[in-house]
């Protein structure tokens, strides 16, 4: 039975040949034109990147290997990693091999936690997460292989070792950050007998007598595992790796992007928004009260966190999957009820406001209240959880891009002065 690495080794020549042929035969075909508004507008809608792990469809949401994520939501995150890399789900034996490999790599080197402990105690967990990843990068196989003059076609092999090390250690690191940062006691050692998500739930140390928290974690980490290559974290990751910086630098860059309130930090901001509503009304408000609160929020010039998306034009299926979980596991939780009520009120409010292209909830609108329900109360850890999930797809993207030897990213920039002159103004 072949390991994932052996499968990828077998696929590598076909993947390269496929790209070589399409560039040779259709390389001059035009994929997109760029307007001035798009150049100033964050390149929204410009088809300029290739991503072979997943696509985001405006109405169907995340599609992996041709299947909507809702069809894959009962799979384990590590199965999704295998799928994103190899293009097919693992057999039971292949999954077991991958899990064993991850288990062997999961412990952190002894000198990583002191690095975190040396940081100011009030640092945001995302800052600590990025610092921890950079510190782990000292052991990069890719950086060593490159320095030793490895041939270009082989770059992906030591990079894949880094990717597996990262995939194995990110949950350990994230959980250790939680325990250190919030005074929960010493970090808990990885338990090789658990799957990736249940292992993370275990290392957080939150009591889980029924196993429902681990169940949530599997769903949570699976449905947010990838989202194409166009968003800030994927872009940052890809750009950094394209200069052949090792995967630790690339993932640290992605984490820095996730830390923005318009991206991964939205999950923390949603909790602030929802808790503010509960405080104002002493519980779950009526629709009218919620509408007035959200209107006030908008009028203060703030975005409503957890709503809108640059690509989606319908309710995010990841929201639906997580919301369904909440409906069956915590329908009476007041914070969940506020989220539930908000999804009925806010889209119309955003439509009336008229600016947002998509008034519907995204995954961040509900993910935090579920974590909160099961005892993960520190909202600043929520972005770490989102980023942990997303690292699955980003790590897979790093592998596939290195197999096809994606070149250094280097679009051309132009000054406003030059634009004005070119446009005859
Ligand atoms: N609340 C208020 N206004 C919103 C809005 C929202 N939820 N969503 C969009 N808008 C506004 C934008 O701020 C923009 O206003 P201006 O013209 O005044 O600048 C206008 O509507 C047009 O924006 P858009 O084209 O619909 O959306 P963008 O592609 O520019 O931005 C965002 C997409 C996700 C950043 C945006 O919808 C937003 O800020 N949402 C709230 C934050 C959030 O939930 N982010 C998480 C997204 C999912 C994710 O990446 N998770 O990691």
Which tokens go with 83?
A: 């799928």
The residue extents of the domains of the chain are 52-263+396-403, 266-379
Q: Among residues 114, 371, 12, which one has the least CA distance to residue 224?
A: 371
pLDDT of residue 399: 98
| The pLDDT value given to residue 121 | 84
Residue closest to 87 by CA, chosen among 217, 224, 226, 223: 226
Cα angle value 259/260/266 (rounded, 5°): 90
Q: What is the pLDDT of residue 90?
A: 98
Neighbours of 356 (CB within 10 A): 18
Mean pLDDT of 174-190: 97
Q: Identify the pLDDT of residue 119.
A: 94
Which of 113, 72, 117, 79 is CA-nearest to residue 95?
A: 79
CB contact at 8 A, 309 and 362: yes
Ligand 1 binding pocket includes 309 (Cβ within 6 Å): yes
**Beta bridge partners of residue 361, listed in sequence order:** 307
Q: Is the pLDDT of residue 330 over 90?
A: yes
Q: How far apart are CA 112 and CA 95, in angstroms?
A: 29
Q: Which atom of ligand 1 is nearest to the CA of 270?
A: 44
CB-CB neighbours of 281 under 10 Å: 14
Contacts of 212 (CB under 8 A, 6+ apart): 329, 374
Digit-coded pLDDT (tens) for 117-148:
999 989 999 999 999 999 999 999 999 999 99
**Count of CB atoms situated within 10 Å of the CB of 159:** 27
Q: Are 103 and 238 in contact (CB under 8 A)?
A: no
Phi-psi bin for 185: left (phi > 0), alpha (psi -120 to 50), beta? Answer: left
Instruction: Give mean pLDDT, residues 331-344.
Output: 98
CA–CA distance, 2 with 322 (Å, rounded to integer): 34
Alpha carbon distance 378, 373 (integer Å): 11
Pick the residue whose CA is nearest to atom 36 on ligand 1.
Answer: 308
Which residues does 396 contact at the CB level (< 8 Å), separation at least 6? 53, 81, 84, 85, 163, 226
Listing from the earlier edge strand, what are the strands of the sheet with 54-57? 54-57, 61-64, 67-68
CA 406 to chain centre: 21
Per-residue pLDDT for 359 more than 80? yes
Q: What backbone torsions phi and psi does residue 361 show, to the nearest 5 degrees?
A: -70, 145
Mean pLDDT in residue range 356-362 = 98
Q: What is the pLDDT of residues 201-212, one digit of tens each?
A: 999 999 999 999
Beta bridge partners of 63: 55, 68
The domain defined by 52-263+396-403 carries CATH number 1.10.580.10: yes
**Of the residues 308, 348, 363, which should be mutated to test ligand 1's pocket, given the most ligand atoms within 8 Å of the CB?**
308
CA 219 – CA 17 distance, rounded (Å): 36
Which neighbouring-strand residues pair with 98?
none
The Cβ of residue 134 has, within 10 Å, a number of other Cβ atoms equal to 16
Q: Are 232 and 263 in contact (CB under 8 A)?
A: yes
Instruction: Identify the CATH assignment for 266-379 out of 1.10.1370.30, 3.30.70.100, 1.10.3130.10, 1.10.230.10.
Output: 1.10.230.10
pLDDT at 7: 98
The CB density around residue 316, as the number of other CB atoms within 10 Å, is 29
Q: Is the CB of 310 under 6 A from ligand 1?
A: yes
> Does position 227 have pLDDT exceeding 90, yes or no?
yes
Residue 71 has phi, psi (to 5 degrees) of -75, -15
Q: How far apart are CA 408 and CA 253, in angstroms?
A: 16
| Ligand 1 site, residue 266, Cβ cutoff 6 A | yes
User: Is 206 strand, coil or helix?
Assistant: coil
Q: How remote is the CA of residue 353 from the centroid of ligand 1, in Å?
A: 12
Instruction: Kindly report the length of the chain.
Output: 425
Contact call for residues 64 and 54 (beta carbons, < 8 A): yes
Nearest atom in ligand 1 to 386's CA: 52
Residue 245 near residue 408 (C-beta atoms within 8 A): no
Mean of pLDDT values over 346-352: 98
Q: Is residue 199 predicted with pLDDT exceeding 90? A: yes
- What are the φ/ψ torsions at residue 347 (nearest 5 degrees)? -55, -40
User: Can you give the pLDDT at residue 1?
Assistant: 77
Q: How many helices (H) and strands (E) does the chain have?
A: 19, 3
Q: Is ligand 1 within 6 A of the CB of residue 306?
A: yes
pLDDT score at 339: 98
Q: Looking at the annotation, which residues are catalytic?
A: 263, 309, 364
Ligand 1 and 367: CB distance under 6 A: no
Q: Give the span between the Cα atoms of 165 and 177, in whole angstroms.
A: 18
Asked whether 263 lines ligand 1 (CB < 6 A), one says yes
According to the model, what pLDDT value does residue 2 have?
A: 87
Per-residue pLDDT reduced to its tens digit, 273-322: 999 999 999 999 999 999 999 999 999 999 999 999 999 999 999 999 99
Residue 337, C-beta contacts closer than 8 angstroms, at least 6 positions apart: 284, 331
Helix, strand, coil share (%) of the chain residues, nearest 5: 60, 5, 35
Q: What is the pLDDT of residue 425?
A: 83
How many Cβ atoms sit within 10 Å of the Cβ of residue 158?
A: 21
Mean pLDDT of the region 172-196: 97
């Amino acid at each position: 039975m072949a390991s994932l690495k052996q499968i990828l080794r077998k696929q590598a020549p076909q993947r390269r040949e496929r790209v070589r042929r399409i560039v040779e035969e259709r390389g001059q075909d035009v994929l997109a034109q760029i307007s001035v508004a798009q150049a100033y507008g964050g390149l929204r809608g410009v088809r300029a990147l290739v991503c072979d792990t997943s696509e985001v469809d405006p109405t169907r949401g995340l599609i992996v290997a041709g299947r909507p994520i809702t069809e894959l939501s009962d799979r384990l995150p590590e199965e999704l990693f295998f799928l994103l890399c190899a293009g097919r789900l693992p057999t039971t034996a292949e999954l077991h091999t991958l899990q064993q490999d991850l288990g062997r790599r999961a412990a952190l080197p002894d000198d990583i936690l002191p690095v975190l402990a040396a940081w100011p105690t009030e640092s945001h967990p995302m800052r600590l997460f990025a610092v921890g990843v950079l510190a782990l990068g000292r052991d990069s196989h890719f950086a060593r292989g490159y320095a030793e003059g490895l041939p270009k076609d082989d770059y992906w092999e030591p990079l894949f070792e880094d990717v597996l090390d990262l995939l194995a250690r990110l949950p350990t690191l994230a959980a250790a950050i939680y325990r250190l940062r919030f005074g929960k006691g010493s970090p808990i050692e990885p338990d090789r007998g658990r799957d990736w998500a249940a292992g993370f739930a275990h290392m957080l140390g939150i009591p889980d007598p029924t196993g429902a928290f681990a169940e949530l974690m599997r769903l949570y980490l699976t449905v947010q595992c990838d989202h194409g290559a166009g968003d800030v974290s994927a872009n940052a990751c890809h750009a950094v790796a394209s200069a052949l910086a090792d995967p630790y630098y690339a993932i640290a860059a992605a984490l820095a992007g996730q830390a923005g309130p318009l991206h991964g930090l939205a999950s923390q901001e949603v909790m602030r928004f929802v808790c503010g509503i509960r405080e104002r009304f002493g519980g779950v408000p009526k629709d009218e009260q919620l509408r007035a609160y959200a209107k006030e929020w908008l009028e203060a010039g703030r975005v409503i966190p957890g709503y809108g998306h640059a690509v989606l034009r319908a309710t995010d299926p990841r929201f639906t999957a997580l919301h369904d979980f909440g409906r069956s596991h915590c329908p009476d939780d007041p914070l969940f009820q506020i989220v539930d009520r908000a999804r009925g009120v806010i889209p119309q409010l955003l439509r009336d406001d008229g600016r947002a292209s998509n008034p519907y909830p995204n995954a961040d609108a509900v993910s935090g209240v579920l974590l909160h329900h099961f005892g993960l109360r520190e909202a600043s850890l929520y972005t770490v959880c989102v980023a942990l999930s997303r690292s699955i797809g980003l790590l897979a993207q790093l592998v596939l891009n290195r197999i096809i030897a994606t070149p250094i990213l280097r679009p051309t920039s132009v000054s406003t002065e030059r634009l004005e002159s070119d446009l005859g103004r």
